[in-house]
Amino acid sequence: MRRKLRVGIAYDVKEDYSVSAVGLTHCDFSTLFEIKMIKELLEARGHTVYLLGNYQKINKQFLEGKFPDIDIVMNTAEGIISRNREGWLPSLFEINNIPYSGSDAYALNLTLNKLHTKIIAEYLNIPTPPYYKVDCMQDLKKAAKLLKKPWILKPNYEGSSSGVMLANSEEELILVFKKLNEEYNQTLLCETYVDGREFTVSLLYDGENTEVLGTVEIIRKEEKHLGIFSAKDKYSDTCTKIPAILPDDIIDGMENDATKLHQFLNCNDYSRADYRVDSNGQYYLLELTPLPNVDYESGFAKCCEYGKHNLGKVLEEILYNALQRYRNKQNI
């Protein structure tokens, strides 16, 4: 029987920043409800849980010598603004020799970069929507010529669909570019819009031990066309997740490609891959997220639910897997 753990949860919530509770410009935050849920699920399995907070709070604890005596950190924090933000805490924990769950700073920062993730996916023969990197108006005009419309334009270093916008004409594309360039001041990614259904694949463990937890589809509750699954959708109740109903070869293809990318990038413990499937049954990778939300309505939790995996047990497995990896490195 594995021993019970003293677990610290690292997390970012809007309440710790000067960010509007309704603003969706930057929304890679956990909710207080999600953190409370994780705490309760782990405590129900006999573990002792401490709420550590965000990078600023944890760094201050290290500086003051007040970091609690714990076995491992469950890292859910994604930082804010900087393109290096997801790597802040993993780097801090490594410097201080603290075991933590999830991918390391390199994998997190790499997958946050949508362009670089797509380049690697192409190297692995994983299909993604046609794209073009946009840093200026000249780039935008080239993208409009090279890519079929309509287009999706989105910030390159944001998550949770922050700033994802659709343009049906060159005039709209220019307006969207100006808006996103002003709001985010970062490289943008222009893609051909894939008009189709959206699916999520969730994975557990890493390396050769990587397992698929399940695949779900995201649909609108009102049975309308999904269109863009926006940040607003993700933080409201306009959409829901249902078990994926697709030919086996399509589901197998998405799950195998998600596993291939997860392993190639050396992602750890768990991740979520998002796809679009067009009317011809062709799937396209949208992104890989090594720090997915795990609240009850999230794609990750729904993959667990429909795959008959107990969410509390899965969270526990993430911690044990991370702790074993840390011990293996210590013995090298």
Quick: pLDDT tens for 23-58: 556 556 778 899 999 999 999 999 999 999 999 999
Confirm or reject CATH 3.30.470.20 for domain 195-318, answering yes or no: yes
- In whole angstroms, give the CA distance from residue 158 to residue 155: 6
Looking at residue 23, its pLDDT comes to 54
181's tokens: 């360039």
Classified as helix, coil or strand, 83 is coil
pLDDT at 309 over 50: yes
- In whole angstroms, give the CA distance from residue 168 to residue 15: 37
- In whole angstroms, give the CA distance from residue 131 to residue 80: 26
Stretch 1-19: mean pLDDT: 85
Q: CATH number for 131-192: choose from 3.40.50.1220, 2.60.40.10, 3.30.1490.20, 3.40.640.10.
A: 3.30.1490.20
Angle at 265 between CA 193 and CA 106, to 5 degrees: 100
- In whole angstroms, give the CA distance from residue 73 to residue 6: 9
Answer yes or no: are the C-beta atoms of 54 and 10 closer than 8 Å.
yes
- In whole angstroms, give the CA distance from residue 197 to residue 131: 19
pLDDT at 93 over 60: yes
Give the pLDDT confidence of 256-305 residue by residue, as tens digits: 999 999 999 999 999 999 999 999 999 999 999 999 999 999 999 999 99
Looking at residue 259, its pLDDT comes to 98
pLDDT band at 21 (very low <50, low <70, confident <90, very high): very low
User: Can you say whether residue 281 is alpha, beta or left, with left for phi > 0 and alpha for psi between -120 and 50 degrees?
Assistant: left
Closest listed residue to residue 261, CA positions, set 175, 306, 213, 203:
203
